[in-house]
Amino acid sequence: MPDTHSAPAANRLLAALPRKDRERLMAGCEPVELVFAEVLAEQGGRMRHVYFPTESFISLVAPIDGRASLEVGLIGNEGMLGISLILGVEVSPLLAVVQGGGPAWRMDTETFCHELARSSELQRLLQRYLYVEIGQLAQTAACTRFHLLEARLARWLLMTQDRAHSDEFHVTQEFLAYMLGVRRVGVTKAASSLQNNKLISYCRGNIRIVDRHGLEAASCGCYKANKASYAEMMG
């Protein structure tokens, strides 16, 4: 088991804390391995743990009428799952599903709330992160309504690449359709267009980013807007 006092914090939120606050917080964390498709929080359910991904990433999904769903957020090592606790709310507003398996730090909500009450630095940091996440949720809603699917797919691939820390990852067309809230045939057409333009390589669910700069150009402006918002508020 890693030494939480000496090991570097691979999560950017944890790394942004002053050393004393970070070491105290991480002393109450445990290392876990998140598994693809694992449900970490149910919409409307009580959150038992908060998670700080390091090499894993988590989808925030809004179920619609019990029949369809749409991904509205993505959490990697830049953030945490459980930010609503900063508002004193232990109920999850969204479904949280592991999209990329890998390591994370986990802490039970009672311990986290205790540490939150003790550390003004942690409160200030998470208040800024909450502001960023609210803005990103709104940006995603506008993006889904107004931008073309190909540009949205390019944005999603860039966001996933950032959090997977790799040019290659596995995702099926069925899962992409589920995440983007469209029919599978639409994903096929959009992915084929990106591949024909030599921006990605896509075969049997294996995606490789071939031209990062080209993919950024093909993406809508929401990708850069989200990154700029995080950089401005979080440093």
Please report the pLDDT score of residue 6 as a whole number.
Answer: 38
Helices and strands, number each (H, E), in the chain: 9, 10
Report the SS3 class of residue 154.
Answer: helix
Tokens of 73: 């957020």
pLDDT digits (tens, 9 = 90+) for 139-174: 999 999 999 999 999 999 999 999 998 999 888 888
Nearest of 109, 53, 108, 56 to residue 86 by alpha carbon: 109
C-alpha to C-alpha distance for 202 and 216, rounded to whole angstroms = 17
Residues 6+ apart with CB under 8 A from 208: 167, 168, 200, 201, 202
How much is the average pLDDT of 189-203?
96
Domains along the chain with CATH numbers: 12-143 (2.60.120.10), 148-219 (1.10.10.10)
**For residue 34, which phi and psi values (nearest 5 degrees)?**
-80, 145
Residues 6+ apart with CB under 8 A from 147: 155, 220, 222
Nearest of 114, 43, 102, 40 to residue 77 by alpha carbon: 102
Alpha helices by DSSP H, listed for 147-183, are 149-164, 173-180
* pTM to 2 decimal places: 0.91
Give the full edge-to-edge strand order of the sheet including 168-170.
168-170, 206-209, 200-203
Whole-number average pLDDT of the chain: 92
Tokens of 174: 């069925």
Classify 63 in phi/psi space as left (phi over 0), alpha (psi -120 to 50) or beta.
Answer: beta
**Cβ atoms of residues 175 and 159 within 8 Å:** no
pLDDT above 50 for 5:
no
Nearest of 153, 8, 15 to residue 79 by alpha carbon: 15
pLDDT digits (tens, 9 = 90+) for 63-73: 887 667 889 99
